[in-house]
Amino acid sequence: MSKTHWLILLVLSAALGLAGFFAWQHYAAPALPEGIVSSNGRIEAERIDVSAKLPGRVSEVLVSEGQWVTAGTLVARLDTLEIDAQLHQAEAMVKQAEQQKLQSDALLKQREAELEFVKLEVTRTEQLAAKGHATQQQLDQLKTAQASAAAGVAAAQAGIDLGVATIASAKASVERLQSIKDDASLFAPRDGRVQYILAKAGEVVGAGGKVVTLTDLTDIYMTIFLPARNAGLLAVGAEARLILDPIPDYVVPAQVSFVASTAQFTPKSVETADERDQLMFRVKLSIPPSLLAKYQEQAKAGVAGVGYVRLDDTARWPDWLQVKLPQ
């Protein structure tokens, strides 16, 4: 290869290297001011498992993956044929108990009428006996009949009390079975997006078996890890900023909502300052709920990015970290 060719290659290499240097300077994030630190992280969201309280067969799943649901939305049902049969039987027992109570009411009225009649007879016989027109034996017989009639009234009243208790017991059975049937309908406890369908129609799940998993998009945060020297200065509620890989031109506001009390990646022995610097603390940077509500359709878990936190309240955010959101 001639000297000219070598010279051309050298010039081209220098030009490419210079271009790469300027490109790196252009795209690399500017240096952070004192009091602000950063760390790579990933957007996460709380997951909610909608589970069966009791074992049973899944009758139908009424949502699909990716669907947005609001709190109270029916997402799935379990088969209730057996419970329905027991519920009908319990309802029939309530009606039977109510009819028995009606009979006890009628019997009480009859026994009270009989007692009233015997009391009148006793009163008349006592008057006749006082005048010598009735014997003591007749009076004693009527008093015995009066006592018997009083016992009949008490028995009839006890029958009514038993009927009331039977009705209450039968209604309690209905309520219990109705509660079991209600538990067969699975509702979304909060607003969210369906992340996974874990059981299909026809599958049998156990008590606590997961059927649907929701992503709670009202609680989205980025998890980052900071060394001990930074985490020790960080306060819950401190301002933060997020820049996400898919939308690097925007800056999302956040705040520190959690700082772990125990370190991650802890070495076996912590003896020197360098080893103490290896201690990493988990930090959550939460996005405000009002912002999540506004960008509900765009909010997604699993997105990577960089989190920036302010260790010093007096530190000023640089211009490139000022909040900037899509219109």
Q: Which CATH class is domain 31-45+217-321?
A: mainly beta
In the chain, which stretches have pLDDT less than 70? 1-30, 264-278
* Alpha carbons 254 and 267: distance in angstroms, whole number: 31
- CATH 1.10.3720.10 for domain 51-79+185-205, yes or no, is no
What pLDDT digit, counting tens, does each position of 76-128 carry? Answer: 999 999 999 999 999 999 999 888 888 888 888 888 888 888 888 888 878 87
pLDDT of residue 126: 80
pLDDT of residue 104: 84
Q: What is the 3-state secondary structure (H, E, C) of 13-67?
A: HHHHHHHHHHHHHHHCCCCCCCCEEEEEEEEEEEEEEEECCCCEEEEEECCCCCC
Q: What is the largest distance, in Å, between two alpha-carbon atoms of the chain?
A: 162
Kindly give, in sequence order, each residue whose CB lies less than 8 Å from that of residue 200, ignoring residues fewer than 6 positions away. 58, 61
Among 322, 292, 295, 302, CA closest to 310: 322
Task: List the chain domain ranges.
Answer: 31-45+217-321, 51-79+185-205, 81-183
What is the layout of strands, in order, in the sheet containing 56-61? Answer: 185-187, 74-78, 56-61, 204-205
Conformational region of residue 42, where left means phi above 0, alpha means psi within -120 to 50, and beta covers everything else: beta
pTM of the model: 0.62
Q: Are the CB atoms for 73 and 185 separated by under 8 Å? A: no
pLDDT of residue 27: 44
What pLDDT digit, counting tens, does each position of 253-294 carry? Answer: 999 999 988 876 554 444 444 554 567 889 999 999 888 888
